[in-house]
Copies of this chain bind each other. A is one copy, B any other.
């Protein structure tokens, strides 16, 4: 029996994951605090999402304390890989170039970011064996 990979997070779930990625293990209250800055949301709404995410295997829950502590069950890079890979296939016919074109036309990249991108391409190429 293989542990199955968690499904692609929904929009609301992704927002919560980003909080967990940046804060590390957090309580519902802490996540709600951050999320509700952007978007008016009830505490119990966030709680419900995090419960659902625990069911789906998107997060792990530590119930030792009264206020449960949640953490992303997969590292950020892993989930980002799923997301990027999924969109790459479904919307860009697998063309990484088209994906980058789309991204950089939606959001102008700074000179610094271009340097980063080139550097990554160099490193990536070295990694190919």
Give the interface of A toward B (CB within 8 A): 11, 14-15, 18, 77, 79-109, 111, 113-114, 116-118, 120-121, 124-125, 128
Decide if the interface of chain A is mainly helix, strand, loop or mixed. Answer: helix
C-alpha gap A101/B99 in the complex (Å):
12
A53 CB to nearest B CB, Å? 15
A18 B93 Cβ-Cβ under 8 A: yes
- The residue on B at minimum CB distance from A90 is B14
B residues within 8 A CB of A90? Answer: 11, 14-15, 18
- The CB with the most chain B CB atoms within 10 A, among A86, A96, A125, is that of A96
Known: A80-B98, A106-B85. A91 touches B14 (CB 8 A): yes
